[in-house]
Every structure is written in structure tokens, then in C-alpha cells.
């Protein structure tokens, strides 16, 4: 059967397929790409089939071009009858504010080792602007795009916004994004995808403790394992906006871009601005969306190949008390329980005896460390561990040698230094002198000591961030300088690992993760709070890049008390560490910690390479998550009682992600504890395990061994033959 697909020459179409995802781009009428399909894989389609898909995506046109939305490009334009947020906002002293880009060449296919890509070039000869649009579909199904905007005129062009978008279908009727605060990050919030704009803006100069994280649109009621979901994320650590936009004409878009202050970017003749990458993932349920982000990050060349070392950080153990004998004892206890890295936190430099001074003076304190850090570093290495160091390179204290010598290097808008927060201000790395000062001090430390790891903190917002002497906005240049500084340090010290920490989880994004191999999910390591924090963080970041530490018995941030097994089981799932004064522990507690560290090391390969899964269960009092091997041959699950249920058992937990056709043995793991004995209060399978097909475990599940609220249990799953 023949099909008429176009009233003129058929449009040029590009069909990208990878990892269960299809992206169909239409290049017609000299427009930038129009996305005709982004979602589930459409399979192998002939040219005729592709033309029919593109035709089917078009809607009926009436008298008004504003009433239809089937020609919205990845960079929406007012000049094309788009009535929503335009992709480019800016002007040349009030002119050229509504550009209309026409393609100058056909789409260029550029396929790499791990992706398929299309580059489109377009220009507006009247506004003297041109753009290069890059779109890539990576092997795991993750899509990303960015734009380079160039000023082809002789007069400066003030850029207001550059935003890219992707369409989502009408079925995407619900939105999910995240909010939060210090010690309570990644809190989900849902709402209908109603008419208008749902916009999440960051004006704090970093991704933010209340960051959108992922902006998702999907089938109403979508969960981890069900419902079609479309999600976007901006890979940028500075000011930004992510938004969902719906119009009366049927258009539904997800968009994102950098949020520029007035006058922050003025392109001179021949100058260009390249946006951050906008990442996008489609999947059935949030687990599949997360799997696409994880696969992308694991394919990056700087992704850690060696086992992630179990890390002990001294902060909650000693705070600013840097007594060498006490720290040596802590090192000895860390080695005894199996830690592989020791990190010295805040308090080692300048006059830093509390948090009121010395940020910016990155010189080892001669008062606290008369022989330098050498004795501690040597002791750490003698115990078989790597040495790491806390720094906060972008910050400065007014009470510091740096601030006294160079007050002009502090951010200052309108002649004022700005509001002090945590007794500190921000050092404007956009000043070449400030950048060189910090770089040289850090390089000296890396030369003087064998430092394998930097915990890079960032504890103050960059609001009111004026670049001296004229107070022009400086967030963008500072963010790029921070990236450049990380890159330069890693180049000078090959093998150096950097953690992104920002008042906890305040800088978690794919921009900073291009140069770091760890993020600190939160300053809160209360295991109950961490259930949600880690669940949300893992939607974007694979577990091996997320710091998860064993807390002390009484949480320093919430005051709650929890059993060691719950604290350790919660820390098991990421880049495991310890944030506890082990010198105060009993022998029994040390043995328990050592048992949990050994368990983590035994399963580390699985935990840090497998597929993250989460259960959708009827009773939200019990949460289930786990990691399943890529070949589904083994898995580890965590069953958590986050609160008391309104009903009593039998409470069954279904295990997602297993191969339905495989048979598995399920065992209850009890590190450092005696095995269960059959009897009252014990479910029969928990004594010696049970063998069942994966389909039964996923559809029927197993009853939970009874436990108190704010406790948990581990289930080990292994394939068996026969």
C-alpha cells in the first residue's frame, strides 16, 4: 500500500536508535531539528515508514498558525509562531531580539565510539547570529544536546537566555522533580502537568541543596517499575533553569538552560557561547531512566576502574581537634576495620581552629602541625591506606591573610561585600590572580604530600556575586574557572580523585561529574534520612560515585539513635565510608564494623557495576531497593522498615529486575550475627533460604522476616542451576 506523506518534497529524516530508545528528527523547511519521536525504540523502519511516522505527528492546521504546535524545534522561536518561552533571548541594544534561524547546510551525521550524533548549522542573516546544534544518542539510550550561539555582527550582542527543549507526548500528565534543604536533600514532589510553565530556577551559583535534580514527566502515577517517563537534567554547576511548559495548542515541552544575570554575557564580534549539555532519558519507570544515566557515566573515560576504597573521614570523630596522637589512634582503628582511605577534614591550615577564619590560606598550620602533615600521612600509608584532604578552594574568610591582602578578589556587587554565611565569603576565581593563588597553593600541597583524594567543599551560595571592580555578574565565569581548576589539578597529579561536596549534596550534577569521581549526597548520615536522600541521588548518579558513610550511634544532624546494623546496611550501597569516632567504640562494635566492611568489599563489584532497582509496593512503610548484576546472575536487596505499618503481616516483598526464567536461591544475610533458628517469630525461608524462579520472586515475592521500624535486612540472591 502506498502512502502520501508530504505535499512537496519529503523532509529529511534522521532516525537514531540505541539502548531501547528511538529519536526521530525531521529537518524540513530550513528549520532546526523538530523531534517527531523521542521514546521507546521504534525498531528498524524503512524510509517510507519514517516518512509516515513524521506525517502522523503533524496535526490539523486551521486559520491561525498559533493554534498548532507541530513545528516546534529544539530551539523554539517566536518567529515560527511559538507563543511560549523562546530558545534564545537577547538583543543588540533592543534589536535582533527575535531571531529566525535558517539552516545553512544539511544535517551532518557524526557518530562516535559510544554514540550516534547529528550536527545542524543555522543562521539569521538579518540578526547576524548563527548557531550550531549538537545532538547525541549514547549507547545506553541517554540523549543529550547543546547549542553554540555566535555573534556574526560587528556590534555586541547581550545574551539573556539560551534554552533547549524536547517535546513529550500528551500521555505525560504528571510531573516529578525534587526539592530539599541542608541535611535533607532530594525530596520528591509531584503535581499534574497543567497548562502554563512549571519552572525551577537556581540563583545560588551552584546546583543547590534544593535542586530540581531531574525534571520528569510521565504517565500519571508512574513509579520505579511502571509508566512511561521522560526526564531532563542540565549538566551545569552554576545558575540554571529547568521547566515544563504546556500550552492550549497541545504543546508539551521539557526545557533547560543556564540562567544568566543581566549583562553577564555580551558576545563581541566573532565571539560564541556554548551551552551546558542538556541530558534527557526516557524509560519504563524511573529505574530505566536511572539506568540510562548510569550507563552513560560508567562509559566515561575518567570513570574509576579500580575498586572504590572504603573511606574514613575524621570530621564527625574529631571536628577541629587535630591532635596527632588522637588522629593516629583513629587511623589505627580505621585500618583495623578494613578502611582503605583516611581523609583529614577541616582544620589543618592557617589559623583554622574553628570555622571563623583562614579560608583561602591553604598552608599547613605550623601551630597544629609543627612538622607538617608528613607524620600523619606516613602513618596512614604505613597502615596500608591512602591519604585524602579536605579543601574549600572557592571560599575565603574575612579573617584570613588572603582577604587582608586582596579584598578585591572577593565577590562584591554594588560596592558591598555581601551577606556573610557560615563566617565566609566567596573568592572570585574569575580574577586571574585569585585563581593562580589557589591553584599554586593546592599544587604545592600535592607536591609536598602523597595526596590521593581531595574532598572539595563549597559551603556558601554565590548570590550577589559581583566581579570587581565594576560589580558585573560573575557566576558563570567563576563556575568555568572552578571546572578549569579541577582539570588543572588532575592533570598535574594523575590519579588524583576529587569529591564534589557543597554543604552536603549541593553540587550534584553531570557538569561537575565530568571531573570528579564522587559526590557527597548529604551532610546528614542518619540512616533513616539517607534512605530517601540516596534513593533520589541514585536516580542520576551510579552508586559507586556517591559517598555513603556509617554514622555514629546518635546522629549529629537529627539526634536520632539507630542500631549499628541499620547504619551500616544503609552505607553499604554506595562508595562506602565511616564517619564515626572509632576510638570510642567497644570491641564488639569494631568487630561489627569490620564485618560490614568485609561484606561491602565482598559485594563491591556487584554493587558498583549492577543495575539499580527499586520496588513499587502497596505499603510505603516498607521500602525495597537493590542491585542486580548486568547478566542477572546475582543480586543484593535491602528491605527497610521506614515506619510502622497500619496493618500487620504477612508483608510480602517482590524482587524486581531478576530474569523471570532463571531460578534463584534467596538467603537472609546477617553480618556479624548468629544464623536464625526455626521457631516462633521466624519466617521459614529465612533459616536456610529458598529456591524460586525469578518470575515468582517478582510477581509473588517473599514474606519479610519481622523487624522493628527503622531497621532493615539484606537478602542475597544467586542463580542456581537446574
| Residues labelled as active-site residues | 457, 523
Distance, in Å, from the CA atom of 439 to the CA atom of 136, rounded to the nearest integer, reads 34
**Cα–Cα–Cα angle for 210, 216, 222, rounded to 5 degrees:** 120
Question: Within 10 Å of residue 452's Cβ, how many Cβ atoms?
Answer: 19
Distance, in Å, from the CA atom of 178 to the CA atom of 185, rounded to the nearest integer, reads 8
Nearest residue to 100 (alpha-carbon basis) of 121, 78, 85, 83: 78
User: Which residue is it, cell 556479624?
Assistant: 672
Distance, in Å, from the CA atom of 583 to the CA atom of 473, rounded to the nearest integer, reads 48
Nearest residue to 121 (alpha-carbon basis) of 85, 75, 63, 156: 75
Distance, in Å, from the CA atom of 475 to the CA atom of 458, rounded to the nearest integer, reads 14
Are 552 and 579 within 8 A, CB to CB?
Answer: yes
Q: Which residues contact 500 (CB under 8 A, 6 or more apart)?
A: 456, 458, 507, 508, 512, 513, 516, 518, 519, 520
Longest Cα separation, the chain: 87
Distance, in Å, from the CA atom of 91 to the CA atom of 127, rounded to the nearest integer, reads 9
Q: What is the 3-state secondary structure (H, E, C) of 346-384?
A: CCCECCCCCCCCCCCCCCECCCCCCCCCHHHHHHHHHCC
Q: What is the 3-state secondary structure (H, E, C) of 55-110?
A: HHCCCCCCCCHHHCCCCCCCCCCHHHCCCCCCCEEEEECCECCCCCCEECCCCEEC
Are 46 and 58 within 8 A, CB to CB?
Answer: no
Question: Within 10 Å of residue 648's Cβ, how many Cβ atoms?
Answer: 8
Q: Can you say whether the dihedral through the CA atoms of 602, 604, 606, 611 is positive or negative?
A: positive
Strand runs labelled E in 596-662? 611-614, 622-628, 634-641, 652-653
Would you list the DSSP string of 282-296? EEEHHHHHHHHHHHH
Q: Which residues contact 171 (CB under 8 A, 6 or more apart)?
A: 219, 228
Which three cell numbers mark 278?
542538556
**φ, ψ of residue 21 in degrees (nearest 5):** -125, 140
* Beta pairing class for 611-614 and 34-40: unpaired
Are 82 and 65 within 8 A, CB to CB?
Answer: no
Distance, in Å, from the CA atom of 480 to the CA atom of 429, rounded to the nearest integer, reads 9
Helix ranges restricted to H, 608-689:
685-688
Amino acid at each position: 500500500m502506498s502512502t502520501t506523506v508530504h505535499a512537496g518534497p519529503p523532509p529529511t529524516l534522521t532516525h537514531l536508535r540505541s539502548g531501547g530508545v528511538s529519536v526521530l528528527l525531521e529537518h524540513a523547511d530550513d528549520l532546526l531539528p523538530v523531534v517527531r519521536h523521542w521514546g521507546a525504540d521504534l525498531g528498524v523502519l524503512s524510509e517510507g515508514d519514517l516518512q509516515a511516522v513524521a506525517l502522523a505527528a503533524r496535526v490539523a492546521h486551521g486559520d491561525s498558525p498559533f493554534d498548532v504546535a507541530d513545528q516546534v524545534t529544539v530551539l523554539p522561536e517566536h518567529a515560527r509562531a511559538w507563543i511560549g518561552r523562546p530558545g534564545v533571548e537577547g538583543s543588540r541594544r533592543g534589536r535582533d531580539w527575535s531571531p529566525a534561524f535558517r539552516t545553512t547546510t544539511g544535517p551532518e551525521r557524526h557518530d562516535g565510539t559510544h554514540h550516534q550524533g547529528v550536527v545542524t548549522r543555522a543562521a539569521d542573516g538579518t540578526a547576524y547570529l548563527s548557531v550550531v546544534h549538537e545532538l547525541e544518542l549514547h549507547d545506553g539510550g541517554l540523549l543529550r544536546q547543546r547549542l553554540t550561539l555566535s555573534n556574526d555582527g560587528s556590534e555586541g550582542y547581550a545574551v539573556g537566555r539560551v534554552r533547549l527543549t524536547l517535546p513529550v507526548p500528551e500521555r505525560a500528565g504528571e510531573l516529578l522533580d525534587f526539592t530539599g534543604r541542608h541535611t535533607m536533600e532530594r525530596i520528591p514532589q509531584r503535581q499534574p502537568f497543567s497548562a502554563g510553565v512549571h519552572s525551577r530556577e537556581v540563583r545560588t551559583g551552584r546546583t543547590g541543596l534544593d535542586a530540581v535534580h531531574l525534571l520528569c514527566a510521565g504517565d500519571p502515577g508512574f513509579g520505579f517499575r511502571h509508566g512511561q517517563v521522560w526526564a531532563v537534567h542540565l549538566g551545569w554547576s552554576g545558575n540554571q533553569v529547568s521547566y515544563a511548559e504546556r500550552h492550549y495548542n497541545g504543546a508539551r515541552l521539557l526545557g533547560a538552560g543556564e540562567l544568566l544575570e543581566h549583562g553577564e554575557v555580551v558576545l563581541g564580534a566573532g565571539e560564541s557561547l556554548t551551552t551546558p549539555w542538556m541530558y534527557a532519558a526516557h524509560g519504563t519507570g524511573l529505574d530505566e531512566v536511572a539506568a540510562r544515566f548510569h550507563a552513560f557515566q560508567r562509559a566515561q573515560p575518567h570513570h574509576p576502574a579500580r575498586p572504590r576504597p572504603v573511606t574514613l573521614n575524621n570530621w564527625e570523630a574529631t571536628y577541629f581537634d587535630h591532635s596527632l596522637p588522637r588522629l593516629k589512634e583513629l587511623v589505627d582503628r580505621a585500618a583495623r576495620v578494613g578502611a582503605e582511605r583516611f581523609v583529614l577534614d577541616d582544620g589543618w591550615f592557617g589559623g583554622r581552629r574553628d570555622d571563623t577564619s583562614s579560608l583561602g590560606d591553604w598552608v599547613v598550620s605550623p601551630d597544629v602541625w609543627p612538622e607538617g602533615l608528613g607524620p600523619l600521612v606516613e602513618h596512614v600509608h604505613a597502615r596500608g591506606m591512602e591519604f585524602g584532604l579536605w579543601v574549600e578552594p572557592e571560599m575565603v574568610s574575612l579573617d584570613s591573610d588572603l582577604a587582608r591582602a586582596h579584598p578585591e578578589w572577593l565577590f562584591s556587587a554594588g560596592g558591598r561585600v555581601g551577606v556573610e554565611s557560615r563566617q565566609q565569603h566567596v573568592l572570585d576565581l574569575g580574577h586571574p590572580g585569585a585563581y593562580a593563588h589557589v591553584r599554586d597553593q593546592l599544587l604545592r600541597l600535592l607536591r609536598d604530600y602523597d595526596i590521593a583524594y581531595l574532598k572539595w567543599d563549597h559551603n556558601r551560595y554565590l548570590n550577589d556575586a559581583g566581579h570587581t571592580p565594576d560589580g558585573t555578574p560573575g557566576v558563570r565565569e567563576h563556575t568555568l574557572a572552578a571546572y578549569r581548576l579541577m582539570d588543572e589539578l588532575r592533570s598535574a597529579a594523575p590519579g588524583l580523585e576529587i569529591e564534589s561536596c557543597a554543604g552536603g549534596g549541593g553540587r550534584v550534577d553531570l557538569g561537575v561529574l565530568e571531573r570528579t569521581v564522587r559526590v557527597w549526597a548529604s551532610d546528614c548520615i542518619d540512616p533513616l534520612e539517607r534512605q530517601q536522600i540516596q534513593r533520589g541521588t541514585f536516580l542520576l548518579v551510579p552508586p559507586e560515585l556517591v559517598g555513603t558513610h556509617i554514622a555514629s550511634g546518635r546522629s549529629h544532624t537529627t539526634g536520632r539513635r539507630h542500631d549499628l546494623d541499620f547504619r551500616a546496611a544503609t552505607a553499604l550501597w554506595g562508595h562506602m565510608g565511616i564517619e564515626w569516632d572509632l576510638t570510642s567504640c567497644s570491641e564488639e562494635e569494631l568487630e561489627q564494623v569490620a564485618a560490614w566492611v568485609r561484606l561491602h568489599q565482598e559485594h563491591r563489584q556487584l554493587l558498583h557495576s549492577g543495575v539499580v532497582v527499586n520496588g513499587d509496593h502497596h505499603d510505603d512503610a516498607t521500602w525495597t531497593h537493590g542491585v542486580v548484576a548486568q547478566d542477572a546472575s546475582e543480586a543484593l536487596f535491602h528491605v527497610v522498615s521506614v515506619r510502622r505499618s497500619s496493618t500487620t503481616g504477612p508483608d510480602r516483598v517482590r524482587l524486581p529486575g531478576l530474569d523471570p526464567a532463571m531460578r534463584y536461591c534467596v538467603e537472609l544475610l546477617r553480618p556479624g550475627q548468629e544464623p536464625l533458628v526455626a521457631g516462633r517469630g521466624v519466617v521459614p525461608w529465612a533459616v536456610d533460604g529458598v529456591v524460586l524462579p525469578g518470575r515468582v520472586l517478582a510477581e509473588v515475592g517473599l514474606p519479610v522476616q519481622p523487624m522493628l521500624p527503622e531497621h532493615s535486612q539484606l537478602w542475597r540472591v544467586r542463580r542456581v542451576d537446574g
